[in-house]
Each structure stands twice: as structure tokens, then as C-alpha cells.
Structure 1
Amino acid sequence: MTPLLSASGLSKTFVLHLREGARLPVVAHAAFEVFAGECVALGGPSGAGKSSLLKMVYGNYRTDAGAIRVRDGAETVDVATAEPRRLLRLRATTIGYVSQFLRVIPRVGARDVVAEPLVVDGAAPDEARERAGALLARLNLPERLWSLPPATFSGGEQQRVNIARGLIAHRPLLLMDEPTASLDAANRAVVVELIEEKKRAGVGILGIFHDAEVREAVCDRVIDVTAFQAAA
């Protein structure tokens, strides 16, 4: 079976220009795969390079070396060398991302924030808003908050909006960066259910899950990022 994501030879070093060009190696020769219908965790201690690898796969960080091949229909795209417009198209159709922090346009209500990916995909605005409301309700966000901008919410409420926005549209490959970090037990359980539903739909997931219970519940494999430790 062809993987949705195949990374090989990935290396990344940060250059600290405010520190006279000091070089901070992060990872070297990283290699891993993600297949449809499985959830793969990036494991290892803080500072091992987990978030950097996730950002390289999404294209937020450029690589120093290596390839990140993502299956996009009948085509395979190397994120490491893709032109910016091709990368944007890949994100619009194939790669979803649930980050730790919600970044949205100010003064836009939570339901519209969540509905936006569906509208971009071509759904009617009323249908998109209805589906967004259903997902927010499932994540226990009170309806009285749906019309309010998420910037006014607590950290846990913002994270639930972030999760809903990241999960509402179908993307074959989903990246998740600590999706349950600010959630209580009840909402963590809902997120576990949503991840399992994505897996059953054939979505491949690569994520960082510091919550051991969540990781054990949803992850099929753990990649030890310390195996890619770069030499200082």
C-alpha cells in the first residue's frame, strides 16, 4: 500500500542570527511514513524536534535536506521543494492542520470560523454553518458563544474551536499538535471519538500527543524522534 506521507532524509538546523550566526541542529536524517486510516504519534522529550518535524511536513519550516512526499490524488508532491502556490493547493485539498493556537480574523464569530473550510470547499454557507454548529455542540461549546469571536474565549474554548475548524472538512492527511492540551476529561473523550471517526474514514494522522491516555487510545504507532537527533 502506498503511504499518504513518506518522509526521508529530513534534516533541519536553525541559524540564530541574533547570536552571531550560531547554529542549532534540530533533526538529521529523519524518515517515517503514514498510511491511510492510521494515527502515528511523534514521541520524545520536549526539544527533540517533534513540532519542527510537524511544521516541515506542513511546509511552515523549510528543510535543509530530504524529501516530504505527500500523495495528492494521482500525483505525489514533495513539500520540501514545492512552489508556494502548489503548497497552498495541497493544504486546500489534502493536508489539514490542528495547531496548538487559534489564529483567526478578529471579530468573526466562532461558528463562521469553523464553517469557513467547508465554504472554501464549495458548501452552501447555511449548510456549512449548520454543520459547524453541530460540531461545536458535540465539543460542548455553549450555543450562546457561537456568534462571538473566539479571541474572547478561554484557552480550552479556543482549542475546541480550533479542533472543530481543523476537523470539519475532509482532508486525507491530518496533522495535529497537542490537540487535547487544554481540555478536560469529557472533551478529551470527544476528541478521541472524532479522531477515531477520521481514521475509519481513511484519514492518515500524524500528531504530537503528550497526553498518554489520548495517545494510547488513538495512536497505532509511535515514532521516537530521538532516533533523529542531530549532532550539536
Structure 2
Amino acid sequence: MSDPLVVSGVAKSFTMHLRGGLRLPVVDNVIFRVARGECVVLGGPSGAGKSSILKMLYGNYAVDGGEILVTHDGETVDLAQASPRQVLQLRRSVIGYVSQFLRTVPRVSALDVVAEPLIARGQDAEASRQQASALLERLNLPHALWSLPPATFSGGEQQRVNIARGFITEHPVLLLDEPTASLDAQNRRVVIAMIEEKKRAGTALLGIFHDEEVREAVADRIIDVTAFRPAREAA
């Protein structure tokens, strides 16, 4: 497999157990691939399944069928069939993720939240914190906040911590779920530049960007998710 991420025939539905097992199809026959150094954007209206696709690719949602192929230690792995242990391994080494909201950890400083992915991969703690400092500086997070837990930060401040945490590693695949939604214009420009740097480094990026300016700046291709509507909705 030459591309870092290949999605083939993926389907997803939700079962409403409190409504008599009602099945709600979300997407069907999702097919695309993302090449090294490419930023692919998922487009389409709210509710079309964009975030669900990202969550399947990160292993947060199980799939009903199809394949999600990534390369790990020189071998092709189907994330759709991976065990929970394999999913965690893939997250550490292959698939990075910047979500819309930071999952804060009580009593852990913003600096350590950002550095943690590097430390988890075996890098020296002090060197990891230095890299984290450089990213927080670049994203204009006030120094006074670095030693504080992010739980009390504003939405924009939390998102900058989230972005720094997601961008600090060199994962071959990086998923971006509205990374600039809570940012001001200055920091949106910073994130655009960071995405361009990831592309030059050969990272395969897949993202959702409702901000048209950001989307046009970073997208090499836009995939219309409405093409993956289940058959009953396509009629």
C-alpha cells in the first residue's frame, strides 16, 4: 500500500436501543485515500457524517463494514478489524488527532499535556517540554498559563493547547476536526502555516474545516461526504 491512509467500502449506522432498536444509517461505501504530503478536506453540510468518518478512522467508532488501511511497522493494518490494543498502538505511532475539544486532565499543566505524546513515545521528558514550549509560544498562549491545568482556560486557549498536542509528534497520518473553530485570525494563520509544514514533511492530513478561508488555504482536495449517503437517503 503506497498511501498512508486508504478507506474502502466503509459503512456506519447507529442503533437507537431506547427506540426499539431503530437503526439510523450514517454513511455507506466510504471510499477515498490520502497521499503523503496531501491535505484532504471532508466537505458537506452538518449531519452528513464528516465527524463520524474521522472518529471511525481514529478508532472511536466501530464500523459496520469495509476497511481502513494504514501502515504500521512496515505492515498494512486494517483499523476496522484492529483490537483495542492495536488501536492504541496505532494512535501512538501512526494516527494523530486534533479534536474540536480538549479533554482536560485534572492537575496536569498545559505544558505537560502538550509534551505527553512525545514522552509516551519514549522521548526525554525535558526535551519534550522544550518542544511543547516552542509550540505554545508559536500559538501565542500566554506564558502565565503554561504551568496551569487547561480546565479553566477559555475555548480558544484550550484549542491552542489541543493543536500543540496534536502537532508535536510526527505521526504519518493526522486527523483534524475543526482545529481552527475557536481561534482568532492571527492564530488561524499560524495553524495554516503548521499544516503546510506537515504537508512538506510528508504527513497525510484529513480534516474538517468550516472556515472557508482556512479550507481554501490548506485543501489539496475536497471530498463531498454527501456522496456517501446511505441508499435510502440518496433517493
TM value normalised by structure 2: 0.97
Structure 1: state its 5+ residue gaps: none
Give the partner amino acid of 1:157: E
Check if 1:188 corresponds to 2:218.
no
How many Å apart are 1:107 and its aligned residue? Answer: 1.1
Check if 1:201 corresponds to 2:198.
no
Give the partner amino acid of 1:164: A
Instruction: Give the aligned partner of residue 38 of structure 1.
Output: 38
Query: Equivalents in 1 of 2:226, 2:33: separation in Å?
Result: 16
Structure 2 residue matching 1:163: 3-state secondary structure: helix
CA root-mean-square deviation: 1.0
Query: Equivalents in 2 of 1:63, 1:127: separation in Å?
Result: 38
Structure 2 residue matching 1:133: 3-state secondary structure: helix
Instruction: Give the aligned partner of residue 165 of structure 1.
Output: 165
Query: Equivalents in 2 of 1:14, 1:143: separation in Å?
Result: 43
How many Å apart are 1:84 and its aligned residue? Answer: 1.2
CA contact (8 A) 2:105 2:151 kept: no
Query: Equivalents in 2 of 1:36, 1:154: separation in Å?
Result: 34
Of 98-107 and 143-152, deviating more is 98-107
Structure 2 residue matching 1:126: 3-state secondary structure: helix
Give the partner amino acid of 1:165: R
Instruction: Give the aligned partner of residue 105 of structure 1.
Output: 105
Instruction: Give the aligned partner of residue 77 of structure 2.
Output: 77
Identity of aligned residues (%): 66
How many Å apart are 1:90 and its aligned residue? Answer: 0.8
Structure 2: state its 5+ residue gaps: none
Check if 1:50 corresponds to 2:50.
yes
Structure 1 residue matching 2:164: 3-state secondary structure: helix
Structure 1 residue matching 2:80: 3-state secondary structure: coil
Structure 1 residue matching 2:148: 3-state secondary structure: coil
Deviation per CA, 1:3-57: give whole Å up to 9, x if none.
Answer: 1111111111100111121111100111000010000001000000000111111
Query: Equivalents in 1 of 2:152, 2:113: separation in Å?
Result: 14
CA contact (8 A) 2:8 2:68 kept: yes
Check if 1:65 corresponds to 2:56.
no
Instruction: Give the aligned partner of residue 87 of structure 1.
Output: 87
Give the partner amino acid of 2:120: V
CA contact (8 A) 2:115 2:128 kept: yes
Structure 2 residue matching 1:80: 3-state secondary structure: helix
Query: Equivalents in 2 of 1:171, 1:6: separation in Å?
Result: 16
Give the partner amino acid of 2:167: L
Query: Equivalents in 1 of 2:47, 2:90: separation in Å?
Result: 28
Give the partner amino acid of 1:147: S
Instruction: Give the aligned partner of residue 223 of structure 1.
Output: 223
Deviation per CA, 1:180-200: give whole Å up to 9, x if none.
Answer: 000000000000000000010
Instruction: Give the aligned partner of residue 214 of structure 1.
Output: 214
CA contact (8 A) 2:26 2:48 kept: yes
How many Å apart are 1:132 and its aligned residue? Answer: 0.6
How many Å apart are 1:89 and its aligned residue? Answer: 0.7
Query: Equivalents in 1 of 2:80, 2:126: separation in Å?
Result: 38
Count of aligned pairs: 232
TM value normalised by structure 1: 0.98
How many Å apart are 1:83 and its aligned residue? Answer: 1.2
Query: Equivalents in 2 of 1:8, 1:131: separation in Å?
Result: 36
How many Å apart are 1:73 and its aligned residue? Answer: 3.7
